[in-house]
Every structure is written in structure tokens, then in C-alpha cells.
Amino acid sequence: MWGFSTENFKRDNQEIENLFGLFKKNLLEGLSTRDDEGRKIRVKFLGRIHLFPKDIIALFRKIEEKTKNNGPFQLNLLLSYGGRNEIVDAVNEIIAEGKKKVDEETISSHLYTRGLPDPDLVIRTSGEQRLSGLLPWQTCYSEFYFCKKLWPDFSREDFEDALEAYRRRKRRFGR
């Protein structure tokens, strides 16, 4: 899930502060949830996390620590994320390591999503038919499903419709 782009930092300061307040409130609620409530989800925060206020970064890390042994599902939250930024950061890591030649595996292993499989299906809500910089490297062979509903209105039935549409497709991975 993509919750906050690097471009969102260019919004009005008051709007950003309000969003940070929401993040903090929701993160604190997540931390107060008891482990025995049947949640089997590991949570990972990906992006330029260092751009957030220190108190929010600390909450990100606490939630990752609290859920690190959960499974079998993982929720990846892209925060302070931009697809081009991710590729630039990966290339800079590779350069810092002194590599002179790279291949696809080298780049993949330096992305924020390293170690995670590429998405099979990307669901875009809001009626927009663009990715807006979402995972440009990882989604090159993904299937896309566009829904006019806004995210807060996206229901379980809508999700099942997306899965059914995906089920009917024939994946070719560029072939």
C-alpha cells in the first residue's frame, strides 16, 4: 500500500502536520493492539523513512519489531516513497559499494523492496489510470486493475472483483 509519496512533502505545512498527526494516532493504535487478536501480519515500512519526524520513525521501528515474527502475510507500507527516488537510491547504493557493472538482480537487490516478490496485481483506486510513480521497476510485468471508487470506499466486494478480473487474465511476462 502506498500511503505517502515524496511529493506529498511539497504540500502545505499544516496539511503535512495533520497527516503526521494521523500517522502517529494510527501507529499508536497499532502498537496498543494485543497480539492475540488473530493478526498474523508482518508490517514493513518502505521508502525514504528518514524524512519523517523522529518520533514517527521510532513508531515505525516499534511496529516492525512487534510484528517481525508474524506471518504468513506481510503488509508493505510505502511512505515517503517515489519510484524514481527508489531507483536513484538503489543506484547510489550500488555506486557506494564500488560496483562497475550491474545487472537486473543487482538493481533489484538494492531497491526498498529487496527480498520481496514483484507484485502480480496492482489495484489503482480513484478512477486514475496511471501509476504516479508506484514501483516502476517492480511492476513492469504486473497486471493492473483500475477502479473508480476512492480508497476509503473500496470494499471487500471490490477487492474480490479485482481478483476475479486478474484470474481471467493470461500472464505473459513480456513474451
Could you write out the DSSP letters of every residue in 80-96?
EE-HHHHHHHHHHHHHH
To the nearest 10°, the Cα dihedral for 85, 82, 52, 34? -130
Q: Kindly state the average pLDDT of the residues 65-88.
A: 92
What is the per-residue pLDDT for 163? 96
Residue 119, pLDDT > 90, answer yes
Question: Pick the residue with more confidence: 25 or 39?
Answer: 25
The mean of the pLDDT values for the chain is 91
Written as nine digits, the cell of 91 is 543506484
What is the per-residue pLDDT for 115? 92
Nearest CA to 135 out of 172, 86, 91 is that of 86
Enumerate the domain spans of the chain: 1-8+19-79, 82-116, 118-175
pTM: 0.84
Note whether 76 and 1 are within 8 A (CB): yes
Q: pLDDT (tens digit, 9 = 90+) per residue, 55-64? A: 999 999 999 9
What is the per-residue pLDDT for 37? 56
Question: Pick the residue with more confidence: 31 or 158?
Answer: 158
d(CA 75, CA 118): 14
**% of the chain at pLDDT higher than 70:** 96
Cβ-Cβ contacts under 8 Å for 43 (sequence gap 6 or more): 30, 63, 64, 67, 70, 74, 75, 77
Q: Kindly state the average pLDDT of the residues 71-79.
A: 89
